[in-house]
Structure 1
Amino acid sequence: MIGYYVHHQGLGHLTRLQALAEQLRSPVTGLSSLPRPAGWDGDWVQLDRDDALPAADAAAADATALGVLHWAPRHDRGLAGRGAAVAEWIRRTDPALVVVDVSVEIAVLSRLCGVPVVVLAMPGVRTDRPHALAYDLAEALLAPWPDGAHTDGWPAAWHAKLWAVGGLSRFDGRAPGRVAVPEGALPDGPGAPGRPRRVLLLWGGGGRGTSAAEVAAARAATPGWEWVERGPGSPSPDLWSDLASADVVVTHGGQNSVAEVAAAGRPAVVVAQPRPFDEQVATARAVERLGAAVGVDTWPRAESWPGLLDRAVARGGEGWRRWSTGNGAAVAAARLDALVDRHRRSMERAAS
């Protein structure tokens, strides 16, 4: 049995769990304050929220425990309830492993209950004291990005237990850039006759710092380009088709969206949105440095967009092969299953 903790912020943590669960042979229980997702067949432990306190009250309640943790405000009943639920689930089910995506506090709690922990490694500057605590106690650090993308400044002990498997996407295993076309229909993909070049603009569920006016200015500055916008307010009916039909994808720097674009192998501009620890800035710089896509730290000025789109087209999508192997979820699942098997044998020997 694997427990898998899913943070409630954004959509990428949940999507990653679903991609992994499809590949795992070990049963998985989801642990999250998010509701059970549609189509989830495994067990699901609904946790209390831990963010009900207003920001000013949380700051007064020493939410960081004097800098040792990220979020543990004093006397928060939701925090107590979720901790109790996780500990009770561990006591009742005796899991072989808990995967944490992401929470320092859940990682520490699980390990204090005697369960080995695998922590999802995150982009950005993660050498602060709380992250160091979680990364130090983890049995492995599962990185949904390629080796070398985000490990500058890491101690040798973290490198030694790193599983850099590349992007984890629900589209792993599909042929990049291909979309099924109904019989008799003309393809609507890049280069289709009479169709303007298309930008697919992707937003995530974690919030955005780019205004509608800035997007409108980018559209106006790029005549000859059709912009199609997808996000929480305008979800895609078929994201793979949207990706395959785009000449350029403009996406925020969230790990899940970047993994989807990488799996599709589309030319792209990755635009960082404001996040703690400069997470998306680190990703935008990494895809630029590795030659996978054009990466920028902030939303560019309108007059920069014609050149950025042309750069993305010229770079193409082949560089994404360094980011997405097409089997990242399968490789990660195989490592997790092997770790479960090892710990299960150890548990059986201890009980005999």
Structure 2
Amino acid sequence: MIGWYIHHQGRGHLHRATAVAHAAAARGTQITGISSLAEPADWPSAAGWVQLARDDTPMEDSPMPQSTGQPRGGTGDGGPDLAGPDLDRPDDGGPVQGGFRAPTAAGTLHWAPLHHPGLRRRSAQLSAWIDHAAPQLLVADVSVEIALLARLHGIPVITVALPGDRSDPAHRLGYSVSTAVVGMWPAQATGILTGAPAVQALGGLSRFTPAPRDARPASPSTGHHDTGRPSTGHPSARAEDPSLEVLVLSGAGGGAVPPAAVAQLRRTLPKARLRVLGGESGWEDDPWPLLQRADLVLTAAGQNSIAEVAASRTPALVTALDRPHQEQQHMLAALECGPWPAVRAPEAGDSAGWDRAVAQVLQLPGADWESWCDGAAALRFAELLDALLPTPAPPTAAISHAEDSSEVLR
């Protein structure tokens, strides 16, 4: 039995866990999902799901402990401190950040707000599940606090690392207690992560099976199939092609491709059929047919978005959103240094730069995404989990150990 903690932000963590859970189930290994998200319909039926309480609800729901009226620091008679927490100390009530009290424990953790009932409840829920299920491993994707709690219960932890500068104390603590740290990017993506001592790169993981460009579906408007070959015509001529299909892919995890960039792309390709997914335009649960038909994708540099674009073998314009730990800046820099068909989107308003970038992207072979996402990352992850499962001691060894122990006690 393996537990897998799934962060609720965005969809990438859930998509990744679901893909690996199915790959593991095919190998006879069950993974129980653990998240504040509800169980998805496509989670393996026999694997199980533990829904945790939320720890980010407003603190108005969690009143501060009431003072007894005694002087701070003691009862005044030299006895034990019964006055409750000292609210002037950072670890006992402040500072307040966004309505949450000391959530980082002075920078040691990422999210553990004081006196929050949801945090207390979810910690108890995870502890109860560990006690009942006795998992052999727990995957943290991703939470330093969950990793620590599992390790404190004696459960080996595999941490899924994200791109960016993760050299802060909390990340380093999470990596240090982990049996393994994995990254869902290819080994060639150098510089994508700083702060982890060693990472096993498993490749980009998409919920979709990569398909060659010549196997893509026909456009519903033209009936034409993409051949998968770069255009031999002049780039500017292809940019004027009214059959060109362009997709803007914004993530669902708290950021979207800037509207100014979308507007600039429309001006650069005025005749193209352009569709926006995500952000304020609404999400499509199954963007795969649109990705497969697209000649060009404009996407934010989110890990899941890049994996799904790579699986579709569609050349991409990529913009880096401002995310914690410079996550997307590191992702985009890694893409630029590798062989992948991705070009940095210019600043909005740089019309000449957009003309050049679009012309360049339309000439790139989408097949070059294969080394980023080859369709086998979920299987590699499942194989890694199997390799890390503890091997039960043979009965003879257990008997011998018991006999040795009895000799010592005599």
What TM-score, normalized to structure 1?
0.88
The 3 A distance-change label for structure 1 pair 210 and 23 is closer
| Greater shift in the superposed pair: 109-118 or 47-56 | 47-56
Structure 1: distance between partners of 2:282 and 2:193? 39
The 3 A distance-change label for structure 1 pair 350 and 153 is farther
Task: Choose the corresponding residue for 1:48, options 26, 46, 53.
Answer: 53
Structure 1: distance between partners of 2:193 and 2:287? 36
Tell me which residue corresponds to 2:65: none
Counterpart contact for 2:54–2:122, Cα < 8 Å: yes
Q: In the alignment, does 2:158 pair up with 1:114?
A: no
Q: In the alignment, does 2:270 pair up with 1:223?
A: yes
Structure 1: distance between partners of 2:49 and 2:214? 35
Counterpart contact for 1:172–1:328, Cα < 8 Å: no
The 3 A distance-change label for structure 1 pair 262 and 346 is farther
Tell me which residue corresponds to 1:75: 115
Q: In the alignment, does 2:37 pair up with 1:30?
A: no
Task: Choose the corresponding residue for 1:318, options 358, 362, 367.
Answer: 367
Tell me which residue corresponds to 1:136: 176
Structure 1: distance between partners of 2:36 and 2:13? 12
Task: Choose the corresponding residue for 1:203, options 250, 263, 269.
Answer: 250
Structure 1: distance between partners of 2:341 and 2:273? 20
Tell me which residue corresponds to 1:14: 14
Give the number of the structure with larger relative contact order, counting CA–CA contacts within 8 Å between residues 6 or more apart.
Answer: 1
Task: Extract unaligned runs of 5+ from structure 1.
Answer: none
Identical aligned residues as a percent? 38
Counterpart contact for 1:189–1:246, Cα < 8 Å: no
Task: Choose the corresponding residue for 1:158, options 194, 197, 214.
Answer: 197
Deviation at 1:176, TM superposition (A): 4.8
Structure 1: distance between partners of 2:6 and 2:106? 25
Structure 2: distance between partners of 1:189 and 1:153? 35
Structure 2: distance between partners of 1:93 and 1:257? 34
> What RMSD in Å do the two structures reach over aligned CA positions?
2.9
Deviation at 1:215, TM superposition (A): 1.9
Which amino acid is the alignment partner of residue 206 of structure 1?
A: G
Tell me which residue corresponds to 1:88: 128
Structure 2: distance between partners of 1:346 and 1:272? 49
Deviation at 1:316, TM superposition (A): 2.5
Structure 2: distance between partners of 1:250 and 1:312? 10
Counterpart contact for 1:270–1:295, Cα < 8 Å: yes
| Greater shift in the superposed pair: 140-149 or 226-235 | 226-235
Tell me which residue corresponds to 2:388: 339
Deviation at 1:337, TM superposition (A): 1.7
Counterpart contact for 2:165–2:194, Cα < 8 Å: no
Counterpart contact for 2:137–2:158, Cα < 8 Å: yes
Structure 1: distance between partners of 2:385 and 2:21? 11
Q: 3-state SS of the aligned residue for 2:41?
A: coil
Structure 2: distance between partners of 1:168 and 1:347? 36
Deviation at 1:309, TM superposition (A): 1.4
Q: 3-state SS of the aligned residue for 1:158?
A: coil
Structure 2: distance between partners of 1:187 and 1:92? 56
Tell me which residue corresponds to 2:298: 250
| Greater shift in the superposed pair: 305-314 or 86-95 | 305-314
Tell me which residue corresponds to 2:235: none
Which amino acid is the alignment partner of residue 253 of structure 1?
A: A
Task: Choose the corresponding residue for 2:377, options 328, 334, 337.
Answer: 328
Q: 3-state SS of the aligned residue for 1:223?
A: coil
Deviation at 1:227, TM superposition (A): 1.4
Q: Deviations over 1:289-320 (max 9, x none)?
A: 11313343886435132222111122322332
Tell me which residue corresponds to 1:168: 205
Structure 2: distance between partners of 1:178 and 1:22? 25
Q: 3-state SS of the aligned residue for 1:84?
A: helix
Structure (1 or 2) with the larger CA radius of gyration: 2
Structure 1: distance between partners of 2:22 and 2:375? 14
The 3 A distance-change label for structure 1 pair 251 and 30 is same
Aligned residues: 345
The 3 A distance-change label for structure 1 pair 115 and 58 is farther
Structure 2: distance between partners of 1:95 and 1:347? 20
Counterpart contact for 2:213–2:367, Cα < 8 Å: no
What TM-score, normalized to structure 2?
0.76
Q: In the alignment, does 2:265 pair up with 1:260?
A: no
Counterpart contact for 1:176–1:263, Cα < 8 Å: no
Deviation at 1:210, TM superposition (A): 4.2
Structure 2: distance between partners of 1:15 and 1:290? 25
Counterpart contact for 1:196–1:226, Cα < 8 Å: yes
